[in-house]
Amino acid sequence: MSSVLPGSQSRPARWMRGGAGVAAALALGALASTTADGLDATGRGTLVRYLGILISGALAIGTPHLLYPDPAAGRLQLSNPWAGRLLRHQIERVAPILAVLSLPALAVSWGAGQWFLGVEGALAVWTVGLYALGRYASLGLRVQAWEQNGASGRRRVLTWATTGARSPEADAFTAPSLLTTAEVFLVGSVLAILGQALGAGWGIGGPVAALGLAGVVLLRRAETYDRSFWTTNGVWADAFQSTGTEEDGREALAYDAVYWAPPALRPAVWAGLLSLDRRLPLGRLALGGLALVAIVAFAGVPEGVFAGAVLLWIAAVNGAVAFTARPALIPSALAYRLHGGAGWAAARFLMNVRWLPLLIAVLALLAWLTDVEARSILMWSLVYLATAAVSSLAVTIVERFAFRRALA
């Protein structure tokens, strides 16, 4: 929680959150450093820019889910902070994540005498993060415009291209949100390509200019940020209040579709997956991420870069299970009436495992078409299973700790 909301978190919870951030930073830094081991200056530059593209993708998809609907909306109404403080509240929420995501670039450049490369990568992450914050803040107003101002020709075409629907009025939310996702990803990709084209040293110019621009845009919006914040908060909350039902055209996950889960855990796995799919566009995230991994493989980059991309993908899809610890998805009191901690850890592990066949299929395809070695499929499967187990266990332990504290 931000400094705008005092008393919303206990000291142990703050320490735990800080500890998790430091652990994630250390893990990402070590991973990036290992990946860069043995690479020359050009290879490190390429690695930093590929990482920039991957992180841009994660920020483009993840930022709105992190910020909206704000879990503290009720408390924010009570204190009614002015527009600038609302902006500060949101920046304080994304800043720790951007700080952690900046570290891989710094770790890659560390010790290679390429400090400017690390700064370029870190600045690019902050630029894309702040750009995403600003663009998603105005999403609510854009959705309203699509909804209320009728269907212009341009909107019809964009809606059809992104959602397949014939009219923007049918679903004024999906097209603008998908376009914003694409726009944020494009900004990150352009910065990476620009950095690669300009080369080490000069490449820092792009992120510096873009960060300045993002800062100016945010400052100019600061005075009316309350309107952007509350409108987007409402639009996002409403959108996820209604998606995932048969009415919006997406079929709900059938109970029988999780036949692969043991009968004792099947209801928990089914309920968890159903809730996750309605909360997050996980399928989009998983497929988009694997498409990026494939692009990285086809680009013929050093092995370390490819390994970093696969590891990031594995961490992202397995990390999503943390959402099932949110009371809005599965309230702890209800959860522990049904299963103990071990049961939920096992159920979360099974929820994670569902993307493994997709990973194996893509790796097999890449082994056939590119230089990726076929024997690496087994190694990546084991890495995937280990990550799935660790994330399931960690999420369950943290959730139980919080639940017991609440009861104490």
Partner 1 sequence: MNVLLSAVLSLSLAPLLTVAPERRRPLVVDGVTKKYVGGPFVLRDLSHTFAPGTATGLVGPNGSGKSTLLRILSALSVPTAGRVLLGGVGGVDAHAAPHRYLASVGVVHDQPDLPGFLSAVETLEWIARERGTWNDAAPPRHEALLDAVLLDERRAQRTGTYSAGMTRKAQLAAAFVGAPSVLLLDEPFRGLDTAATEAALGLLEAFRDGGGVVVLSSHRADLLERVCDGVLNLGRSAPPEPPV
Residues near partner 1 (CB under 8 A)? 5-10, 72-75, 77-83, 86, 140, 144, 147-148, 171-174, 226-227, 229-231, 233-235, 237-239, 241-243, 245, 247-249, 406
Nearer to partner 1, 174 or 324 (CB): 174
DSSP readout, 5-16? Answer: STTSS-HHHHHH
DSSP category for residue 253: P
Nearer to partner 1, 79 or 152 (CB): 79
Q: Would you state the torsion angle of the CA atoms of residues 323, 327, 333, 336, taken in this order, to the nearest 10 degrees?
A: -10
Nearer to partner 1, 35 or 232 (CB): 232
Check: CB of residue 352 under 8 Å from CB of residue 318.
yes
Determine phi and psi for 372, rounding to 5 degrees: -60, 130
Nearer to partner 1, 49 or 142 (CB): 142
In whole angstroms, the minimum distance from the beta carbon of 240 to partner 1 comes to 9
Nearer to partner 1, 232 or 392 (CB): 232
Residue with tokens 């803040």: 137
In whole angstroms, the minimum distance from the beta carbon of 326 to partner 1 comes to 14
Residue with tokens 């909306």: 73
What gap in Å lies between CA 57 and CA 51, rounded to an integer? 10
Nearer to partner 1, 174 or 275 (CB): 174
In whole angstroms, the minimum distance from the beta carbon of 141 to partner 1 comes to 9
In whole angstroms, the minimum distance from the beta carbon of 156 to partner 1 comes to 18
Nearer to partner 1, 229 or 349 (CB): 229
In whole angstroms, the minimum distance from the beta carbon of 336 to partner 1 comes to 19
In total, the chain counts a number of residues equal to 408
What gap in Å lies between CA 301 and CA 297, rounded to an integer? 7
Check: CB of residue 170 under 8 Å from CB of residue 103.
no
DSSP readout, 186-228? Answer: HHHHHHHHHHHHH-TTGGGHHHHHHHHHHHHHHHHHGGGHHHH
Distances (CA, A) of 281 to 8, 91, 242, 277: 28, 23, 14, 6
Nearer to partner 1, 9 or 42 (CB): 9
DSSP category for residue 265: T
In whole angstroms, the minimum distance from the beta carbon of 327 to partner 1 comes to 10
Residue with tokens 């690019």: 124
In whole angstroms, the minimum distance from the beta carbon of 291 to partner 1 comes to 26
DSSP readout, 116-141? Answer: HHHHHHHHHHHHHHHHHHHHHHTHHH
Distances (CA, A) of 182 to 209, 292, 387: 21, 14, 28
In 300-397, the DSSP E strands lie at: none
Nearer to partner 1, 11 or 375 (CB): 11
In whole angstroms, the minimum distance from the beta carbon of 195 to partner 1 comes to 38
In whole angstroms, the minimum distance from the beta carbon of 37 to partner 1 comes to 44
In whole angstroms, the minimum distance from the beta carbon of 249 to partner 1 comes to 7
In whole angstroms, the minimum distance from the beta carbon of 5 to partner 1 comes to 7
Nearer to partner 1, 48 or 235 (CB): 235
Taken in order 177, 299, 190, 212, is the CA torsion positive or negative? positive
Nearer to partner 1, 72 or 217 (CB): 72
How many C-beta neighbours within 10 Å does residue 40 have?
10
What gap in Å lies between CA 206 and CA 120, rounded to an integer? 8
